[in-house]
Structure 1
Amino acid sequence: MSLPQTRIVELGDELFDALRARRTLAPLIERVAGIDIDDAYNISLRFLERRTADGERVIGKKIGVTSKPVQDMLGVHQPDFGFLTDRMQVGNGKVISIAGSGLIQPRAEGEIAFVLKKDLKGPGVTEDQVLDATDYVLPCFEIVDSRIHDWKIRIQDTVSDNASCGVFVIGDDRVKPHALDLATVKMDISKNGVHMASGLGSAVQGHPATAVAWLANTLGRYGIPFLKGEIILSGSLAPLLPAVPGDRFHMTLADIGEASIGFEA
């Protein structure tokens, strides 16, 4: 870590204020000299501290920027990581208000979510251990959002900004992880009734469990475990799709299930 703790607190508070006010900030990488990944993670923890003090409760973790199409789109070439809170989760099939949900510049991505039946703590977590610790998998729409102006992010920006997480919805269908090969699961997404994207589970580091193991081990270096009952998002299987009022998104994960979400102003 290169930044003093006072600066870490200032930047975490700045992101929290931007979230609540629905406004964007200039990229941190452009105005904070020497900011590194450890700084960014500590900024994100301050950001999370402000959210939990405001009544939010952590219910899971997420990995982002795992697939090449998303990395190319954002110009970020390594995964990021963040936290999920209860206030981020919305019901399957719901139409949500962009403004009312605190979103600024949302984009939809389709993922495979893991729900854990026991704790996991890295380092040293393997893909097999992830599968053994998983109660079930299910389809997920993560609606990513950025407090950084025009999505002009680098890895330090998105990690600081809680991995650019907005809200998420998980489907109602639950499948045991050993019941199928998650690397070959196909996802299809439609927007307003028009097919927009497809992807395979292998898009996230070759296998979704590989991505989840990476996240467990990365957070483990900071002393943060996965906990029984938590939801773990494994990363987008296809490029992000911008969302505006009036849009309706639907996804299917072959042999797993479906999820949908809509937007209004």
Structure 2
Amino acid sequence: MSADVHKAAELLATAARTGTPCPPVRDLFADGDLDAAYDVQRLHTERVLAAGHRLVGRKIGLTSPAVQRQLGVDQPDYGALFSDMALDHDGTVAAGRLLQPKVEAEIALILGADLPGPGCSVADVRAATAFLAPALEIVDSRVAGWDITIVDTIADNASSGLFVLGDTREALDAVEPADVEMRLHRGTELVSQGTGRDCLGDPLNAAAWLATTLARRGDPLRAGDIVLTGALGPMVPAAPGDVFTARISGLGDVTISFEGEAA
């Protein structure tokens, strides 16, 4: 890996460690150099694993056509989920743990079988999925002011922060992911809503894309992996004292609180 890949990784790691966001890292690379950005992400993964944490799955980002247009891309991206990123349903995000958190509601897949190599289909995803669960992803950016392009967000582990799975589990034959409806409340206020079709037309499409992309990179999805398939509605900034609850039809609720007093 190049010196610039290592420099970008160090900038992002320092921002996370100190709690001070860094400038964008995209200027270290040629425009649209996604391979370099994923190399930065791989260095981050190696560091987290070396620290004793486990890789427990993957998240998919940029599944909204509107967000893709905003960043000038025509594909999603992905990041890694680690054991230290998981929070319990109805748990609390400690004050100061994240830099610039935002919340989005998603469908999580829990895989019961490995997914095949390049060319993974929606039918393959269906066959490999053991359960669905309602999920909240708490995204975060180590880049100041969320001033990101796709290169910045990929390098920054797809702007991952934390994630929460609800306590309910449903089989795919009981719930059709494309047909679900999602409502996200902050306290009693409805702050985001959408449907399964707002995630690449079907969250299973997003999962098939991820499986194919990871297999091409030599890192396929395995049985037991959690897959956060992508936001079902707009993400919402979080502040101390906020309590978010997402209700996804057919799947149930998932809640997270942010430590501190509301403004």
8 A Cα contact 1:69 1:239, kept in partner? no
Cα-Cα RMSD: 1.6
In structure 1, stretches of 5+ residues that fail to align are: none
Partner Cα separation in structure 2 for residue 72 and residue 193 of structure 1: 31
Partner Cα separation in structure 2 for residue 18 and residue 121 of structure 1: 36
Partner Cα separation in structure 2 for residue 228 and residue 135 of structure 1: 9
Tell me: CA distance 1:77–1:248, structure 2 relative to 1, closer, same or farther (3 Å): farther
Residue by residue over 1:186-221, the C-alpha shift from the partner in whole angstroms, topping out at 9 and shown as x without a partner, is 011100211122111011111110000001111111
Matched, 1:83 2:80: yes
In structure 2, stretches of 5+ residues that fail to align are: none
State the secondary structure of the residue aligned to 2:42: helix
8 A Cα contact 2:4 2:28, kept in partner? no
8 A Cα contact 1:131 1:178, kept in partner? no
Partner Cα separation in structure 2 for residue 71 and residue 194 of structure 1: 27
Q: How much has 1:23 moved relative to structure 2?
A: 1.9
Counterpart code for 2:216:
R
Which residue of the partner structure matches residue 261 of structure 1? 256
Which residue of the partner structure matches residue 167 of structure 2? 172
Alignment of 1:1-265 (within 5 A): 4-34=1-31, 36-71=33-68, 78-99=75-96, 101=97, 103-265=98-260
Stretch moving more, 216-225 or 237-246: 216-225
Tell me: CA distance 1:221–1:117, structure 2 relative to 1, closer, same or farther (3 Å): same
Tell me: CA distance 1:70–1:87, structure 2 relative to 1, closer, same or farther (3 Å): same
TM-score (structure 1 length as normaliser): 0.93
Task: Report how many residues are paired.
Answer: 260
Counterpart code for 2:155:
S
Stretch moving more, 26-35 or 123-132: 26-35
Stretch moving more, 218-227 or 234-243: 218-227
Percent of aligned positions with the same letter in both sequences?
40
TM-score (structure 2 length as normaliser): 0.94
